[in-house]
Amino acid sequence: MSTRPRRRRLVPAAAASALLATALTVPMPASADEGFTPIVFVHGGAGSGAQYESQAGRFDSNGYPAEYIRAFEYDSSFSINSFTDVINGLDALVDEVRAEFGADQVYLIGHSLGTFVSGLYLGDPAREDKIGKYIGIDGGSNPTCGVADPDLDCMGIWQGTNTTGNVGGNNVRLSPQTHVQVATSAESFAAQYEFFTGEAPDTTLVLPEPPGQVKISGRAVEFPLNIGTPGAVLQIWEINADTGQRKSQRPKHEIELADDGSFGPVKLHGKKHYEFVVLRDGFGSHHFYFEKFFRSSHFVRMNLAPPGSAIVANSNLSDNHTAAVVVRQKEWWTTHSSGMNDVLEISTSSPSRGDHDAGNVFTNVTSNGVIGVHVHDAAATPGDSTLDLLPFFPTQAFQTGVDVFMPAEGSAAGTVSFVNTHRGDADHVLTINTPNWPSDTDRVTVTFNDFVQDIDDWGECKRAKPSPC
C-alpha cells in the first residue's frame, strides 16, 4: 500500500490542528485523487504539534504536501480528560481528516505517551480499519501490530540504546539520538518517509521557499493542557535581528485568537525576524522569539502559563531582571557520552544597566533529556549569575532551571543574546536576540529549531550545485 508523491508545485501549508474535543480544520485545497494519504501525529507527554513541525516541512519539501499532515493535541497531564476522552478525540480527528480528503484510511504516528494512546486506539478493530500504516516512536512496544492484519503495516523507531522495543517486528534504531530527537530528526524522517511511500526521500532538508511566499499558522495554548484562552490577542512585530528591538510603532499583524488558540495563515517574509506577543486579560505580555521562518509552517506553537501555573509560582519575578525559557524540540546535550554537547551562552547589553555576561548556562546541568531551560535571577543571589540549578524546574518533565541574571529596564531598550553552539558544532552557532523585558510584567520564550543545516535561504538553495530547490 505505497503512496508515491508526485512532484508538483508546493502549496503553502494552512492552519490545521486537533484538540481533545474539537478538531479544528481551516478549509484547504484537497482532492481525493491526488494520491496522498493523510498523516496524523499523536504527541507525547508535555508535547504538542511542535514536535512534528520539522517533519511536516521535510514531507512538504519532498512533494508530500504539509496540508495532509495533522497533529492530534490533548492534555497529556490528564487533568481535564480521561484516556477514553482522548481516544474519542483522536477518532473524531481521524474521521474528520478521512472525510476532508476522501480517504478510506490515514497513516498514524505516535510518539512516547502517544504510542499508548495509539495502541489503545488500534485495539478497537473498527478503528484499526481506519489506519493503513502505523509508526510508534520510542514509546510502548506493540509486537503483534499488523502481524495478522494484511491491511495494517507497522514500524517502530527507537533510540539506538533501546535494543528491545518492538513494533510489529519492523524496527529502526537511531544512535546517538535521544527520546524527543528520534521524533524530530532528519534520520527519523527518512525512515518514516520510506515506510509510508516505499521510496527514500529526495532530501532530508527543510527546503527554503521564496521568501515572499512564506505563510505560517498555529496555536497559542495553555501548557500542558493544549487548550486555548478565549479572548487572547496575538501581535506579530518585525524586529531587528541584531537587537530584538521592534522596527515600527505598530505590529505587522494583530489577530484575535480563536477559542482554541489557533491563528493564521499569515504572510511573513522568509528573510526577516519577528516577535510574537500574546496578550491576555489578567496576565502580563508573553513574548515569543523564533529563528527566521524560511519555509511555510502550520505547526507554530506558543505555550502559555495557565491560571495558577506552578511554573509562574516557582519563578522569581521582578522589575530588576528578565526571565525566559529557552526551548528546542531536540534535547540539549550537556554531559553526553558522544562529546557533542551544546553550549548556551546568555549575555545582556543594557543602556541604563550596563552589560552582563552569564557565560554557559549548561555549566551545572547534567541531564541530557532537557527540552526547556528556565533562566532567571535566583531570589537567594540577586544580581548574580551563579549558574546553579533553580529549585522545582529540574523535577519537571523535560525541563530544568538555571540562575541567570539578565538586567532589565522598564523601556526594554537593552538586548539579551541567547547564543547556542549546536551540539559542539562551531560551524553552527545560532543567535536569537530579545529585548530585556522586566519579568514582573513580561514573559519571554526563545525557541531554537531542532535542526541545523547549511541551506536555510532561498538564494543559497538556488545557487547550490546541484540545487535541491
C-alpha cell at 31: 482532492
DSSP state at residue 6: P
Please state the rounded mean pLDDT for residues 351-373. Answer: 97
Residue 255 lies in a domain: yes
Question: Higher confidence at residue 339 or residue 132?
Answer: 132
Partners of 297 in the β-ladder: 216
Residue 329 pLDDT greater than 60, yes or no: yes
CATH code at 262? 2.60.40.2190
> Quick one: DSSP state of residue 168?
T
Q: Residue 468: inside a domain, yes or no?
A: no
Query: How far is Cα 405 from Cα 367, in angstroms, rounded to an integer?
Result: 22
Q: From 369, 243, 225, select the one nearest 308 (Cα to Cα).
A: 225
Helices 113-122 and 83-101, packing angle to 10 deg: 70
Other Cβ atoms less than 10 A from the Cβ of 164: the count is 7
Q: Are residues 38 and 170 in the same domain?
A: yes
Cα distances from 250 to residues 223, 244, 247, 287, 414, in angstroms, run 28, 15, 9, 15, 20
The per-residue pLDDT for range 20-47, each reduced to its tens digit, is 333 333 334 444 447 899 999 999 999 9
Are residues 79 and 139 both part of a single domain?
Answer: yes
Please write the tens of the pLDDT for every residue from 242-276: 999 999 999 999 999 999 999 999 999 999 999 99
Among the three residues 197, 231, 251, which one is the final residue of a domain in this structure? 197
Per residue in 73-99, pLDDT (tens digit) is: 999 999 988 999 999 999 999 999 999
417 pLDDT tier (thresholds 50, 70, 90): very high
Cβ atoms of 86 and 115 closer than 8 Å: no
Helix (H) or strand (E) holding 251: none
Within a domain: 251:
yes
Give domain status of residue 7, yes or no.
Answer: no
10 has pLDDT over 70: no
Phi, psi (rounded to 5 degrees) for 178: -115, 180
Based on the domain organization, do 135 and 219 belong to the same domain?
no
Pair 435, 329 in one domain? yes
Regarding whether 266 and 177 lie in a shared domain, the answer is no
In a domain, 5, yes or no: no
pLDDT at position 160 is 93
CA–CA gap between residue 229 and residue 281 (Å, rounded): 10
Residues 232 and 328 in one domain: no
Task: Tell me the CATH number at 177.
Answer: 3.40.50.1820
**pTM of the shown model:** 0.93
Look at residues 7, 13, 17 and name the one whose alpha carbon lies nearest to residue 42. 17
Q: Enter the DSSP assignment of 87.
A: H
In a domain, 271, yes or no: yes
Over residues 392-420, mean pLDDT: 98
Cα separation values, 422 from 214, 347, 367, Å: 25, 17, 16
Q: Could you read off the pLDDT of 198-222 as tens digits, one per residue?
A: 999 999 999 999 999 999 999 999 9
- Same domain for 81 and 143, yes or no, is yes
What CATH number should be reported for the domain holding residue 323? Answer: 2.60.40.2200
Residue whose grid cell is 500504516: 133
User: What pLDDT is attached to residue 17?
Assistant: 33
pLDDT of residue 23: 39
Check residue 198 and report its DSSP letter: S
pLDDT value at residue 457? 96
Averaged pLDDT of the chain = 93
Between 52 and 33, the higher pLDDT residue: 52
Q: Is residue 3 part of a domain?
A: no
Cα separation, 72 vs 115, whole angstroms: 12
Would 35 be classed as within a structural domain? Answer: yes
When pLDDT is averaged across residues 117-143 and rounded to a whole number, the result is: 98
All three cell numbers of 241, joined, read 535581528
Total count of domains within the chain: 3
Domain boundary among 277, 292, 307: 307
Label residues 301-311 b or e (16+ Cβ within 10 Å = b).
Answer: bbbbbbeeeeb
Q: Is residue 343 very low, low, confident or very high in pLDDT (cuts 50, 70, 90)?
A: very high
Rounded Cα–Cα distance for residues 128 and 144 (Å): 13
Q: pLDDT value at position 34?
A: 72
Given a contact cutoff of 8 angstroms between Cβ atoms, the answer to whether 302 and 220 are in contact is: yes
Q: How many CB atoms lie within 10 A of CB 242?
A: 11
Partner residues linked to 372 by β-bridges: 327, 399
Domain co-membership, 95 together with 173: yes
Residue-by-residue DSSP string for 35-81 = ----EEEE--TT--GGGGHHHHHHHHHTTS-GGGEEEE---TT-SS-
State the Cα–Cα distance between residues 190 and 203, nearest whole angstrom: 9
Q: Of 291, 307, 323, at which residue does a domain stop?
A: 307
C-alpha to C-alpha distance for 370 and 402, rounded to whole angstroms: 12
**Domain limits for position 388:** 309-447
Residues 269 and 136 in one domain: no
Helix (H) / strand (E) containing 312? helix 310-313
Give the rounded distance of the alpha carbon of 380 from its chain centre. Answer: 33
Residues 232, 179 within the same domain: no
Do residue 130 and residue 37 come from a single domain?
A: yes
Question: Using an 8 Å Cβ cutoff, are 461 and 454 in contact?
Answer: no
Residues 78 and 177 in one domain: yes
Helix (H, G, I), strand (E, B) or coil at 401: strand
CA atoms within 13 A on the CB side of 54: 27
295-312 pLDDT tens trace = 999 999 999 999 999 999
